[in-house]
Chains A and B, each alone.
Chain A
Amino acid sequence: MPERKESLEQLVLTRVMRLNATIHGLVFGLVAGLALFIATNWLILKGGPIGPEGEPIIGPNLWLLSQFFYGYSVTFVGSLIGFAYAFAVGFVAGFLIAQIYNWIVDFREYRARRSA
């Protein structure tokens, strides 16, 4: 008889997924970039209370991001800069999560195979 093939359930339960690091990075980057871009512009559109100097105070908390993202501000140009920063950070984070995940899975499978 031909060898028994694994059932779908077995395959699904025993196989472990590998992540594509680049795709993961891109998706994380895009989500982070877009989130910051939208958040910034949303605050701009909403406006803010008028400050002591007669200027509206827009998104004072989001401004704090400029501590990490030099050059970022809650302005339209800032939203573009923010997009770039957040995309970069998101990409790196996403890429690394996937890459590290794959390494760990490889390592665990390698150990399991050796002990089998």
Chain B
Amino acid sequence: MQEEKQHVIPSTMNRNGDQQVVIIGGGPAGLTAAYELITRHNIRPVVFEKLDKVGGIARTENYKGYYFDMGGHRFFTKSKEVQRFWKEVMGDDFLRRPRLSRIFYNDKFFHYPLKPFNALMGLGLYESVLIMASYIRWQIFPYRQEETFEQWVTNRFGKRLFLTFFKTYTEKVWGISTSELKAEWAAQRIKNLSLKSAIVSMFVKPNTKITTLIEEFDYPRRGPGMMWNAVKEAVERRGGSVQLNSDVVGIHRQGNRITAVEVACNGYRQVVPGDSFISSMPVTEFIRYLDPPPPKPVLDAAHRLKYRDFLTVCLVVNKKELFPDNWIYIHDPRVKVGRIQNFKNWSPEMVPDQSKTSLGLEYFCNEGDELWTMADEDLIELGKQEIERIGLAKYEDVEDGSVFRVPKSYPVYDSEYKEHLETIKEYLATLENFQTIGRNGLHRYNNQDHAMLTGMLAVRNLMLGESNNLWVVNAEQEYHEEIAEDVEADPEVVTEVVKEALAHIFTRLDPLAFGLALGLILGLAVFAATALLLLRGGPVVGPHLQLLSNFFIGYSVTWPGALIGLLYGVVVGFVFGGLFAYLRNTAMFLHMAYIQRRSELNLLRSLFDYI
């Protein structure tokens, strides 16, 4: 190993007499924090980024003038703050782009989000009949337990549709069989959303604005990297520092305070002291780098949080146009590729030569596995063969290629992650001058906007003494959320509240109690009416009320009759009240099950948008 020197560098901020804020990671969250610090509070932070460019997972790679967006990043947000930020930084370089994405399965394309009619048409009459039959079969005899993803979706869509549209792609993304994948990750995400949309759909009309968000999005002319480079430049222009190729490899701690970070840069090691620290590096690594280390349970918990990774094989194809989609989900089990981006359809400027097309073939994998470690040339060869096999481009039309790997792109929500994250959260809360932000900093499926919000809120906590809880800035509301606030509540809490509300609306009316209550009142009413007429007296007492005896045999407008009427009233009221309550309960329950199921299905149709 190369001998590394170690020294303490003087901090930029101590020179200015401000407080020294050290930010780890030059992705959306870290850069947003830096930008906010410097533009709003005039504090010049130092940002350490281990790669040679900023943007993190949302970076844009450049290969011979072709821009490759790692993952394909749509820009959309409900947060006014984030929108303002994007506009401020990008100005007119922000394009509004239409969205087209389809599923490729069995040599055919299907609209995505799924449209039932289009799907059935595409599959043909015979297959459609089988799918309907399978749907009915699973509605009548569902899996009794819904423990796995496969069981969960099958119970909602039927096995055949599950096999067609859900199995292969989900297995590609997560690398495990859908019969092993816990239902939880989908169920939880979908339930959160479906409960909320269910309750909302009861009271308001569907939100058409949401549809437009799904149908179009904003995009910087040359990919998201353009945005993050602009932010970097803005920070540096104002005297902040963004240091590339600077890998934070150690975190010095004294009791409950972080004192410095150790940065590896060009073979050197520097120790950079600071007053406050904001980190967007994976929280698991942060815990591991702490010196002295945290208690063992915390280290163990960090060790057990998992990630999924992906790599993009970028191909330059000598064809002006290949297909109109921004991206295509490849459900075809014959190939390993999971999704294919067509960058020219994101923005024409992603391609320097308009007679060519550039594609990004995304392979989901685990750091260190066979795909991940495959040589770049072999991966390009694989990409060329697969693109030909599925017929999207010809092997010989591919004239160049390159490979980019994105480690830790997905925090894994397995059955244990919450428990481990809780342990980590509790420990981190004891650190006084430290905040963790961003997607991997919080181990949350945050999109850029929510990652950015955590950066903004961390700055407010630091500079304004606010106590925003960064762990609850939500990841799941981009497409559907109706609660139009910048910072949304913890999905768990919201779900519980919504569940309570729904439960309250739909709770059972006790048939026995309602029958008895109604019976008593009806009985008393007959008794009182009879008694009143008896007390008033007259030559002929209550000839009309007497007619009741047509129904209440034995009743008369007499004192014994009043008692018989009371009894009849009680019985009739009891029967009708009980029946009413019973029918009302059944109808309410069926209605609730229906709206919940309907919103679940709606969300399932666009499940892959959340991956």
Contacts and interface: CB of A to CB of B under 8 A. Distances in A.
Q: Determine if chain A interacts with chain B.
A: yes
A8 B596 contact: yes
A98 B508 contact: no
Interface residues of B, number: 33
Contact of B496 (A5, A61, A104): A5
B510 A97 contact: no
B607 interface: no
Contacts of A2: 418
Contact of A16 (B418, B510, B588, B592): B510
A108 B513 contact: yes
Nearest to A104: B513
B403 interface: no
B546 to A, nearest CB: 12
B514 interface: yes
Contact of A67 (B518, B536, B588): B536
A13 interface: yes
Given A1-B419, A100-B520, A100-B521, A12 B514 contact: no
Contacts of A104: 510, 512-513, 516-517
A96 interface: yes
A98 B507 contact: no
B589 interface: yes
Given A8-B502, A97-B518, A105 B513 contact: yes
Interface stretch (B15-23, B45-53, B471-479, B525-533): B525-533
Interface in B484-519: 496, 499-500, 502-503, 506-510, 512-514, 516-518
Interface residues of A, number: 26
A13 B508 contact: yes
Contacts of A105: 510, 513
Nearest to A7: B499
A17 interface: yes
Contacts of B509: 16-17
B596 A16 contact: no
Nearest to B422: A2
A81 to B, nearest CB: 17
Nearest to A8: B499
Given A15-B508, A17-B510, A104-B512, A64 B521 contact: no
Contacts of A9: 593
Given A1-B419, A8-B596, A15 B517 contact: no
B235 interface: no
A43 interface: no
A102 B510 CA distance: 9
B131 interface: no
A50 interface: no
Contacts of A97: 514, 517-518, 521
A11 B503 contact: yes
Interface in A14-69: 15-17, 61, 64, 67-68
Contact of B544 (A11, A12, A64, A98): A64
B508 A8 contact: no
A101 B508 contact: no
24 contacts: A2-B418, A5-B496, A8-B502, A8-B596, A11-B499, A12-B502, A12-B507, A12-B592, A13-B589, A16-B509, A17-B510, A67-B536, A93-B525, A96-B517, A97-B517, A97-B518, A97-B521, A99-B517, A100-B521, A101-B513, A104-B513, A104-B517, A105-B513, A108-B513
Interface of A: 1-2, 5, 8-9, 11-13, 15-17, 61, 64, 67-68, 93, 96-102, 104-105, 108
Given A64-B544, A96-B520, 8 more contacts: A11-B507, A17-B507, A67-B536, A67-B542, A93-B521, A93-B525, A96-B521, A100-B513
